[in-house]
Amino acid sequence: MAHGIGALPEVLKVGTNEMELVVFKMFTNRESGQMETRIYGVNVAKVREIIPMPQVTTVPDTPNYADSMAEVRGEVIPIVDLGRWMKLVMPNIEIRPKVN
């Protein structure tokens, strides 16, 4: 059943001049060897959910940044590694992987 405009959260209504962001960090090594932190934000209206990294299945003949798939709530989705897609050199630090 469709909900009227009144059912939308205030931030998603047109004309509020507000936006909520999911902020995340990506890390890379500079040529000097120092670690650089890059901070990004994505509009929450574009994010379905954030979940811990599910069990993934490797898929042959795919780009190196999208080499796996996962089943999430009965739907198969591609897993894209943004760091690899952006050609970042990953530092040697412990990061808890998540999927957006």
- What is the reported pLDDT for 1? 43
**Is residue 27 within 8 Å of residue 95, measured between CB atoms?**
yes
Residue located via tokens 């999208």: 66
Direct distance between the N- and C-terminal alpha carbons of the chain, in angstroms, rounded to an integer: 27
Give domain limits for the chain.
19-99
Instruction: Please write the tens of the pLDDT for every residue from 5-41.
Output: 556 666 566 667 777 888 888 888 887 878 888 898 9
Q: What is the pLDDT of residues 42-62, one digit of tens each?
A: 888 888 888 888 888 888 888
pTM, two decimal places: 0.57
- H-helix segments, 15-98: 82-85
72 Cβ neighbours under 8 A, 6+ residues apart: 51, 54, 99
CATH number for the domain formed by residue range(s) 19-99 = 2.40.50
Higher pLDDT, 64 or 9: 64
